[in-house]
Structure 1
Amino acid sequence: MSSGGSSLFSGFRVLGLYSNHVPHAVRFHQKHREFYLVTVVGKCLHTYNVNRLGIVAVSNSLSDDITCLAADRMLVFAAAGKLVSAFARNKEVVMRYNGHRQEVRLLLPLGDHLISADSGGDVIVWDVQGGDVYLRLQFDPNTFDVSAMMHPSTYMNKVLLGSSQGALQLWNIKTSKLLFTFRGWSMGVTVLQQSPAVDVVGVGTATGRIIIHNIRLDETLMSFTQDWGPISWLAFRTDGPPIVASGSPQGHIAFWDLERRQLVTQQRHAHSTAIAAATFLHGEPLLVTNGADNAIKVWIFDQEGGGARLLRSRQGHSAPPTTIHHHGNDGKNILSAGQDGTLQSFSTVHERFNKNLGHGSINRKKEQKKKKGLSYEELRLPSILAFSSAAARQSDWDGIVACHRGRLAATTWNYQRCTMGAHHLQPPSPRRDTVATAVDITSCGNFAVIGSSSGRVDVYNLQSGLHRGCYGDSEKAHCGAVRGVATDTLNQLTLTAGSDWLLKFWRFKTRKQEEELKLNAAPATMMLHRDSGMLALVLDDFTVLVVDIETRRVVRKFVGHHGNINDMTFSPDGRWLVTVAMDCTIRTWDLPSGCLVDCFLVAMAPVGVSMSPTGDFLATAHIDSLGVYLWTNKSLCGPVGLRPLPADHQPATETLPGVTVDQSEQEVTSEEGDDAYKSADQLGAELVTLSLLPESRWKSLLYLDDIKKKNKPVAPPLAPPAAPFFLPTLPGLTPRFTSPTATEQETQSKLLPSGLSSQRSKFTAALEAALESGSFNCPVLLLKDFGPSAVSVELTCLTSEGGGASSLLLAFIHMIEHMLASGRDFDLAHSYLALFLKLHLRSLSQDTVAMEALLRLSTQLEAGWAELRASLDQSLCLLSYTKSAML
């Protein structure tokens, strides 16, 4: 019997995936005036803005893993195997270039062309728009194995090729001619980089030598030697100082001064693995790096002596995580311990809230003399096997305790300071070859209980780090290794499980044994749900037992996994138990009914699982993945029918969720051909659309008379009599001015001629035409352009007294019906109708046809408002429920 996947969980997103070993690409968006960084994660491309390192775009997946990346102003090019794909808007594939016979390893955009080189010696020049092969060059890998490509600045249609044999060749791709061959330096070329100076190129070699060469004169200007192995990349500063930076496979960066021809400074361990690429932003003192350690870093040069400091970063695990747990009661932070030895916190809200608590290190204060000669790597502690956290007293002292692989001493960590704590919790008389195997912190956050492989279970005070006692009469709680420890909510009971097949119950304060329970097999791990008092134990025979700590009896037994059970977690209410195993299944068991209610497969075996304290997300970690995957709980969004699954249930495979774009970041698109989204005039028949006009255009229509009275001055201003430009004079020897006559002093009448009053306005003519055609869009548009006073005048002139006709009143009613039926300009329709009824209700009551139209209009208004009110009530109810749930 097969299933359609999980009925309880659906993939949401993945946390902590940022970069891999593929070099990044940097783009500058002219419209946004911002730099964007494109990195590769498996089969997808991730685009970040450099200013905040917020993810703005995630591309569609390709069929194979991406091995090479390049970008120009419009497109992003990615090579996966033998196929090269072009991405537009950093998302969808718009063109594919298929013609290589071997794996593509180099890409170089050049104007309207794309140059690609594969491992078999083929170099193909593509027409970007058409996808056709413009030129194909074939090299013999034994004599000239293309290992680097570059376009020299100001060299039209020229490409400089470097080989692993050490020679360089300058080609004209338009004429397909070899222009010049540089003999090289008998060292394999790994990097070619254009310098800010024309004709000058930086060459990185496999022996660690950096050569600054003038390709026009074929003259070496200077050279440097890096002691950390091959040159993996080169980058020139363009903001002033003549600095070139070089990278190494060890993760170090060296900065060289081109004027003084010496090493300026170095940045050791900039990345924990090889740095894939580094780019100086044009005109800015910023260096962007990415590496195979799943990290993106931005360095700023503001230190004395030309040094750089870390400005911002996005960093995940460089090796797969092994243990994950939610921290705190809000469910927004997930603590993750990885095989790389780091302890990190991933936020489910935004990446800027992520925390890196770093690597554990040996206590240098106590063992400074003994450890004086150790290297950087030897001072690091091994990876964390198990840890426990409590948020109750984390602001006062350390709230995280971790057990490390092969070490007896457990370490403490401070979540708020994002550092390792000062205490190393170790028994007073340690035995050789004993390691810590299990840990738990009490609910009050004051004590830590740690079990070891020798059978000891010790209690420590987290504030002082002092040892407070151990369980058992002979300082041994079990005859074998301790597989799990737990304490209840009130610090009354301590529960321990050992490889001697025993589950023991102890009094926490007196540390005396009360009872023990014999198990059917050796336990592998255990977990206590403190609120319900249910203890889950995973046995080595792939079964799960649930013990009630009140009655101290086994109340449930779950069988179904076909591989080692790696981890388990309870739902917040204690009704579900979620287990993950090496058989690649994630199973959900219902404790009240004792049945399996959900099961689905994943591509990679899960090694860790944790349910959010709020119950909204399930987090999983997988054996070959660097990320933490989130699954949404469907039961919180709607009713989910959970039925017991049959014994012959065959689970279906669920696809692991991918990275989602942060909605707070601006999405980057192409600079040309942007298809701007245009909203529809009306979204649905049951919705209404407002006019978006200012409220002063329609809200004051009913109060125009009051507004005019309020604004009317007490005494109107008198205009002074206008004097003529040339004053007339009387005839005679003495010049005297002529006084104006009475007829000239009379003012002109302000009344319109009778002929003008009989003329129809544009609105009236449009309304008459709309009554005949049945389309009222034109009169509505005219009214929307009028001001409040003009609208009042137009509606007043609809009657015969105002120069209109009775048919215009009926036409106006039909216009309002049309506006209400379309759902657009909802506010204007009601305002116009209210003013219309105020002006003409007396005359309309005497017209039978108009009254019938008004009755139909009234019914239409009531029906439309009923639908709208139901939608508003539903939205308000949902909003009130959401606010109450958040409080």
Structure 2
Amino acid sequence: MSGGGSSLFSGFRVLGLYSSHVPHAIRYHKKHREFYLVTAVGKRFHTYNVNRLGIVAISNSLADDITCVAADRMLVFTATGRLVCAFARNKEVVMRYHGHHHEVRLLLPLGDQLISSDSGGDVIVWDVQGGDVYLRLQFDPETFDVSAMMHPSTYINKVLLGSSQGALQLWNIKTSKLLFTFPGWSSGVTALQQSPAVDVVGIGTATGRIIIHNIRMNETLMGFTQDWGPVCSLAFRTDGAAVVASGSPQGHIAFWDLERRQLVTQLRNAHSTAIAAATFLHGEPLLVTNGADNAIKVWLFDQEGGGARLLRYRQGHSAPPTTIRHHGNDGKNILSAGQDGKLQSFSTVHERFNKSLGHGSVNKKKERKRKKGLLYEELRLPPVTTFSSAAARQSDWDSIVACHRGCPATTTWNYQRSTMGAYHLQPPLPCRDSAATAADITSCGNFAVIGSSCGCVDVYNLQSGLHRGCFGDGKAHSGTVRGVATDTLNHLTLTTGSDGLLKFWRFKSKKLEEELRLNAAPASMVLQRDSGMLAVALDDFMLLVVDIETRRIVRRFSGHHGSITDMTFSPDGRWLITAGMDCTIRTWDLPSGCLVDCFLVAMAPVSVSVSPTGDFLATAHVDSLGVYLWTNQSLCGPVRLRPLPADYQPAVEMLPGVLADEAEHEVTLEEHIDVYQSAEQLGSELVTLSLLPESRWKSLLHLDDIKRRNKPATAPLAPAAAPFFLPTLPGLTPCFAPATAAEQENQSRVLRWGSLAQSSEFTSALEAALDSGSFERPVRLLKDCGPAAISVELTCLIPEGGGSSLRLLAFIHMIDSMLSTGRDFDLAHAYLALFLKLHLRSLSQDANAMVALLRLSLRLETVWAELRSSFDQSLCLLSYAKSALL
């Protein structure tokens, strides 16, 4: 049976993705007076403000991964394969440039043109606005393979091209002429950069040479050589210091003094991978770098001797994470261990709360001496395979224990100080040659239980780091320990191993109480301490749920078609969420024993974790550097969960942050999303109030008092007599224009009958509504009037004010219509009160009006009786709820 996507989880966002191997681009916003950094991350690019490194915008997704990024004042240009796209407002694709037949490698904006170069030797000059090809240059990659491009400053319509063969060419893109060819320095050009001085450029080569060359005189001014291989990037300082920076594939950065022609300083291990790009901000002592290690760093040059220090950074895992777990009870922090050997904490609130706990080291004292000659790689521990954390005593001592691949010792980590802890938990002598494979911290935060590959399970005190005993007579299992867990009260310890046994131990006495034989060797296990349910994943892809109170198997689940990589319980213990190498994430309902949700992902999940508050599911995937968050939709509204059949075929859910571009769909947002429209009236027993302010209707009965209070203390003075003006004829000499005979005839001093008894728009609409039966228009006209205007309109309804008894009757029918529909309930009562105050004596003498008023009185009593019943019921329920809470 085929099905849809997940009905329980929806993609929210991804954490820990900041940069790739693509060089960044820097933009300056004149209005904001701020620099912005653009980095490519997969199929999207991110825009950060350099001042805070806060993310400003995320672009829409492209079809392929971005291979090149460039930016000018208005647009951001990206290359994906053979396609070049222009983005406006850091988000939307406004232009696509088709014309390349090979993968685009370089982009260079130049005024109204965009220059792009591909691996096939084509260099195309585009018209940015129209998207037309302005010029196409074709090179033979065997003789001149374009590897770098630069626009020399003040050289109008000139482009300098560097090749992997070593030669350089200066072209005029307007006339399509080759102006000059530089023979080069017998090594491929890897970087070109304009210096602050006109005519002088910096050239980086594949052999590590840095040449400062005057292209106008064709004269080499100076040269340097770095010992770390090819020059990945070049950057010149523009704040007054004559310094050029060069990046290397090892992640080092060298700084060269152009005046003294020597090395000033160097930044070792600025990145753990090659420097993708390094850029000095114009007029500031700040260097921005990014690399393939998924890091963005801003360096400040304020040290003595020209050195730099790290000012701010954003960094994720440089290799895919293998284990993720929520830390703390608020669900706002996720601990992540990756194949790069780092332990990091990602915040679900804001990126500024992220922190890196660093690499594990063999000895912290030796680590301090690595600057004196020891190799950094010799001191690093292998990557973390599994870890456990507890927030109970993290303010007092280390709160994280981690097992490293192939290492017998378990390391401790301090979350609050964001450093490696004080202890290496060494096992006793018989287990010194084995590796730690499982770890768990007790709920009190005082003890750590460690399982090893030789079958030993040891207990350590986290405060002192001392060994406090082991379970069993030497060994707890005859094979590798696959999982350990302790209950909430530290009465019971559970262990499982490759020997296919699940054992129950007394924590204090370390004695075996009972063991349970499993059908196959267990791969992992996880305990939900509040409910006492233990989930065990077997090597035959089966799932077992064991009740640790009765020590019996209560549920068996089958459905995964690959190894089960990780499991997690929901906070209430109702759901068990599992991830497998079959690329599925499944949710099992424990009370019913059924599979209630299942969906596919593009990359196999390796770890899952549900927040203690239950609002997010976090996943880590194969070959992905990010931590993905999924929203639990059951907390946002009702979710219909039903048992899924055994042959259910799940649909693929796109990972958060990798969704398709909405701009490519031809439907509008209104057509794509079913927007909820609120009804005008909810139910016949309810009423709806108007949205008018209270001053428009609440003061209708007190207009006389308001006028009396606002009356001035002294009578207003009459204005001075205005001058008498007569019409004049145009001309140089003033001359009065006499009245014509036609105007004198039309100017009668006798008022015609009916000229004073004119009907207003409201009274006309009221009379028309009496015939049609629809009073929406007169009600709308009254809503637009102020209190004084409403009083005038109602006063003119009686015959003495120019009205008639028919208008009085029509107004009564209008109020009756408003009460029958239930809308504008407050206005209906306010208008009726003022109407009765003004015309009660006239109404008492009209038989038809009295009949209508009696019918209106009955409707008022009925409406108020229904409202009173609803109010009493609500107040009773509220009182009951308050008494229950107390």
- Post-superposition shift, 1:856? 12
Q: Does 1:531 align with 2:542?
A: no
Q: Does 1:686 align with 2:680?
A: yes
For the Cα contact (< 8 Å) 1:767–1:776, is it kept in 2? no
Alignment root-mean-square deviation, CA: 4.9
Match of 1:105, SS state, is strand
Q: Distance in 1 between matches of 2:750 and 2:262?
A: 97
Q: 1:580 to 1:239 in 2, by over 3 A?
A: same
Matches within 5 A, 1:441-460: 441-460=441-460
State the AA in 1 paired with 2:528.
H
Matches within 5 A, 1:432-471: 432-471=432-471
For the Cα contact (< 8 Å) 1:14–1:659, is it kept in 2? no
Q: 1:453 to 1:844 in 2, by over 3 A?
A: same
Q: Distance in 1 between matches of 2:151 and 2:681?
A: 57
- Post-superposition shift, 1:486? 1.1
Residues 283-292 or 16-25, more deviating: 283-292
Which residue pairs with 1:731 in the alignment? none
- Post-superposition shift, 1:700? 5.9
Q: 1:652 to 1:712 in 2, by over 3 A?
A: closer
Q: 1:605 to 1:702 in 2, by over 3 A?
A: same
State the AA in 1 paired with 2:329.
N
Q: Distance in 2 between matches of 1:504 and 1:861?
A: 75
Match of 1:330, SS state, is coil
Q: 1:616 to 1:765 in 2, by over 3 A?
A: closer
Which residue pairs with 1:575 in the alignment? 574
Which residue pairs with 2:412 in the alignment? 412
Which residue pairs with 1:84 in the alignment? 84
Q: 1:835 to 1:183 in 2, by over 3 A?
A: farther
For the Cα contact (< 8 Å) 1:321–1:338, is it kept in 2? yes
Q: Distance in 2 between matches of 1:533 and 1:399?
A: 23
State the AA in 2 paired with 1:594.
G
State the AA in 2 paired with 1:686.
E
Q: Does 1:505 align with 2:504?
A: yes
Matches within 5 A, 1:617-628: 617-628=616-627
Matches within 5 A, 1:465-480: 465-473=465-473, 475-480=474-479
Matches within 5 A, 1:179-328: 179-328=179-328
State the AA in 1 paired with 2:328.
G
Matches within 5 A, 1:105-116: 105-116=105-116
Q: Distance in 1 between matches of 2:872 and 2:137?
A: 70
Q: Distance in 2 between matches of 1:686 and 1:312?
A: 53
Q: Distance in 1 between matches of 2:543 and 2:848?
A: 81
For the Cα contact (< 8 Å) 2:762–2:793, is it kept in 1? no
- Post-superposition shift, 1:43? 1.2
Q: Distance in 2 between matches of 1:843 and 1:167?
A: 105
Residues 212-221 or 103-112, more deviating: 212-221
Residues 382-391 or 760-769, more deviating: 760-769
Residues 377-386 or 71-80, more deviating: 71-80
Residues 31-40 or 560-569, more deviating: 31-40
Matches within 5 A, 1:509-520: 509-520=508-519
Q: Does 1:361 align with 2:361?
A: yes
For the Cα contact (< 8 Å) 1:764–1:798, is it kept in 2? no
Match of 1:216, SS state, is coil
Match of 1:396, SS state, is coil
Q: Distance in 1 between matches of 2:873 and 2:266?
A: 63
Which residue pairs with 2:735 in the alignment? none
Q: 1:413 to 1:721 in 2, by over 3 A?
A: closer
For the Cα contact (< 8 Å) 1:615–1:633, is it kept in 2? yes
- Post-superposition shift, 1:236? 2.9
Q: Distance in 2 between matches of 1:578 and 1:825?
A: 51
Q: Distance in 1 between matches of 2:196 and 2:875?
A: 61
Which residue pairs with 2:629 in the alignment? 630
Match of 1:365, SS state, is helix
Which residue pairs with 1:542 in the alignment? 541
- Post-superposition shift, 1:348? 2.1
Q: Distance in 1 between matches of 2:821 and 2:270?
A: 62
Which residue pairs with 1:656 in the alignment? 655
Q: Distance in 2 between matches of 1:143 and 1:807?
A: 100
Which residue pairs with 1:170 in the alignment? 170
Superposed CA deviations along residues 503-545 of structure 1, whole A, max 9, x for unmatched, are: 2222111111222222232222221222222222222222222
Q: 1:295 to 1:74 in 2, by over 3 A?
A: same
State the AA in 2 paired with 1:117.
S
Q: Distance in 2 between matches of 1:295 and 1:148?
A: 24
For the Cα contact (< 8 Å) 1:763–1:794, is it kept in 2? no
Residues 692-701 or 549-558, more deviating: 692-701
State the AA in 2 paired with 1:413.
W
State the AA in 1 paired with 2:643.
P
Q: 1:446 to 1:232 in 2, by over 3 A?
A: same
State the AA in 2 paired with 1:290.
N
For the Cα contact (< 8 Å) 1:620–1:628, is it kept in 2? yes
- Post-superposition shift, 1:849? 9.5
For the Cα contact (< 8 Å) 1:9–1:632, is it kept in 2? yes
For the Cα contact (< 8 Å) 1:686–1:867, is it kept in 2? no
Unaligned runs of 5+ in 2: 664-668, 670-675, 683-687, 721-748
Matches within 5 A, 1:474-493: 475-493=474-492
Residues 851-860 or 362-371, more deviating: 851-860
State the AA in 2 paired with 1:420.
M
> Normalising to structure 2: TM-score of the pair?
0.81
For the Cα contact (< 8 Å) 2:6–2:653, is it kept in 1? yes
Match of 2:634, SS state, is helix
Q: Distance in 2 between matches of 1:535 and 1:309?
A: 49
State the AA in 2 paired with 1:375.
L
For the Cα contact (< 8 Å) 1:584–1:601, is it kept in 2? yes
State the AA in 2 paired with 1:607.
V
- Post-superposition shift, 1:40? 1.3
State the AA in 2 paired with 1:90.
N
- Post-superposition shift, 1:445? 0.5
Q: Distance in 1 between matches of 2:479 and 2:857?
A: 85
- Post-superposition shift, 1:421? 0.8
Q: 1:787 to 1:635 in 2, by over 3 A?
A: closer
For the Cα contact (< 8 Å) 1:763–1:779, is it kept in 2? no
State the AA in 1 paired with 2:623.
D
Which residue pairs with 1:672 in the alignment? none
State the AA in 1 paired with 2:82.
K
- Post-superposition shift, 1:794? 8.3
For the Cα contact (< 8 Å) 2:343–2:356, is it kept in 1? yes
Which residue pairs with 1:606 in the alignment? 605
Q: Distance in 2 between matches of 1:851 and 1:285?
A: 88
Match of 2:124, SS state, is strand
For the Cα contact (< 8 Å) 1:364–1:371, is it kept in 2? no
Q: 1:297 to 1:504 in 2, by over 3 A?
A: same
Q: Distance in 2 between matches of 1:614 and 1:500?
A: 36
Q: Distance in 1 between matches of 2:576 and 2:107?
A: 50
Q: Distance in 1 between matches of 2:208 and 2:567?
A: 49
State the AA in 2 paired with 1:499.
S
For the Cα contact (< 8 Å) 1:301–1:307, is it kept in 2? yes
Residues 862-871 or 258-267, more deviating: 862-871
State the AA in 2 paired with 1:274.
A
State the AA in 2 paired with 1:380.
R
Larger relative contact order, structure 1 or 2 (CA cutoff 8 Å, min sep 6): 1
Superposed CA deviations along residues 547-571 of structure 1, whole A, max 9, x for unmatched, are: 2222223333323322222111122
Which residue pairs with 1:553 in the alignment? 552
For the Cα contact (< 8 Å) 1:690–1:825, is it kept in 2? yes
Superposed CA deviations along residues 841-865 of structure 1, whole A, max 9, x for unmatched, are: 7667778999999999999999999
For the Cα contact (< 8 Å) 1:523–1:539, is it kept in 2? yes
- Post-superposition shift, 1:71? 1.8
Which residue pairs with 1:734 in the alignment? none
Q: Distance in 2 between matches of 1:314 and 1:869?
A: 60
Which residue pairs with 2:736 in the alignment? none
- Identical-pair percentage: 81
Match of 1:378, SS state, is helix
> Normalising to structure 1: TM-score of the pair?
0.81
State the AA in 2 paired with 1:318.
S
Superposed CA deviations along residues 75-121 of structure 1, whole A, max 9, x for unmatched, are: 22211111112223322322221111110001112222211100111
- Post-superposition shift, 1:436? 0.8
